[in-house]
Each structure stands twice: as structure tokens, then as C-alpha cells.
Amino acid sequence: MEYRLNLPVGEEDILKIKAGDTIYITGLVVTARDEAHKKAIEMYDEGKELPIDFSKVAIFHCGPIVKKEGDEWKVVAAGPTTSSRMEIFEYDFIKRFNTRIIIGKGGMGEKTAKACKEFKAVYAAFTGGAAVLAANAIKKVKDVFWLEELGMPEALWVLEVEDFGPLTVTIDAHGKNLTEEVKQKAKEIAKKIEF
């Protein structure tokens, strides 16, 4: 199935999506890599106010190239980064912020799948490296936070996107994890190969 979603999305929208489906999203997407995940969780636990309501946006594992033209930031290239690095943070992140859509590449593990099931979220893969395609769907850089402290790749870039995709859902809110299944099957096949 193919879905076009407008953010923010509710639990009902999330529950109809199945692993293997393609989605395109319109709304606000916020980039967050290792450092941003860590900082957001720490700030929440210390009772500090976060600059963004992460429940209303999609999180994008991405370290973009951004250029300043006059007063405005322009995204040059913005493909996904490897999501497995965020595996150690994602359960805690989704639990605290109730984010519904996580976007990255390469798939995520058991803990993220558990969070998606418990808190009704999905993980979707944007084609790795397809940075120009992604940049073309970004209409505007709405804001940026933590730029000074974390640097260009790690900052929180708030992006207005239109029909951002294709995103292949690999973890749904029903406990299915497509890339993990593919990997387990591949391991079985590899075991039987004789050289």
C-alpha cells in the first residue's frame, strides 16, 4: 500500500500502516543524529524545556549540508544517515516524546521495534544516499537549534517537507521488523553455502 500523510499524525493513521508499505509525508521533519538524541533525552530527564514538540513532527536521522543565502538557510543535500547508531537511544526517545514517525536508513533493531509497538510509531527507510531527491522535497528550513553547540551535521534542523519520500516502512506498530526478518533469513541461507 501507498499512503500520503500530513503531519502531525495520530495513532489511527499509524495503526493502518504495515511494514513494506510506502509512505510520503508532508509537514515538519526534524533532523536528529546521535548527539541530538542524547541531548534531548538528557534535557527531558533534567526537566528542561525542549525547543520542539517531537510528538508533532517526524524525526529524520540525517546530517545535512546546509548553506546560508542571505538570511535564509538552504538545504543542499539531505539523505539519511545509518539508523542503527541511534538504536541505543530510540526506545527512550520515543517513550519520552511520543514521536510517531522515525525516518532513517538501514533499519533498526529490537528495542526500537518494541518502542514502535508499545507507543504506536513506525520506522521508515528513505533511500540511503538519495540526498538530492530528499533536498528537492524540502521546501523550507523553518528553524535550527543547537547549531552552535553540535555543528552542522548534528544540529536539529526543522524542515518543511512536501511529499517527502518514497519511504519504505520497515518497522510497523504491530511488531513487524522487515529488515530484521530479511537479515535472519539471509543468515540461514549463508549458513548453508559451501565453498
Partner 1 sequence: MKEKIANEIANLIANAVIDLPKDVEDALRKAMENEEEPAKTQLKAVLKNIELARQQRKPMCQDTGTPTFYVEVGYNFPYKDIIKDAIVEGVRKATKEVPLRPNAVDVLTGKNSGDNTGLHIPYINWELVDGDECKITVMPKGGGSENMSTLKMLKPGVGIKGVKKFVLEWMVEAAGNPCPPTVVGVGIGGGADIAMKLAKKALLRKVGERHSNKEIAKMEEELLNAINSTGIGAMGLGGKTTVLDVHVEIAHRHPASLPVAIAVQCWANRRKSLKIDKEGKIWNID
Which sequence positions are flagged as catalytic? 37
Compute the radius of gyration of the chain from its Cα atoms: 17
Pick the closest to residue 55 from 96, 98, 12, 92 (CA basis): 98
Query: Per CB under 8 A, does 132 bind partner 1?
Result: yes
Q: How far apart are CA 76 and CA 144, in angstroms?
A: 15
Asked if 68 touches partner 1 (CB under 8 A), the answer is no
Is residue 58 at the binding interface for partner 1, with CB under 8 A as the rule?
Answer: no
CA distances from 191 to 182, 187, 195 (A): 14, 6, 11
Interatomic CA distance for residues 23 and 17, integer angstroms: 9
Write down the least CB distance from residue 31 to partner 1, Å.
Answer: 10
**Residue from 24, 117, 136, 146 binding partner 1 (CB under 8 A):** 136
- Choose between 20 and 175: whose C-beta lies nearer to partner 1: 20
C-alpha cell at 171: 518497522
Q: Which residues bind partner 1 (CB under 8 A)?
A: 20, 22, 62-65, 67, 76-79, 81-82, 84, 105-107, 125, 127-133, 135-136, 151-153, 166, 168, 170, 178-179, 182-183, 185-187, 189-190, 193, 195
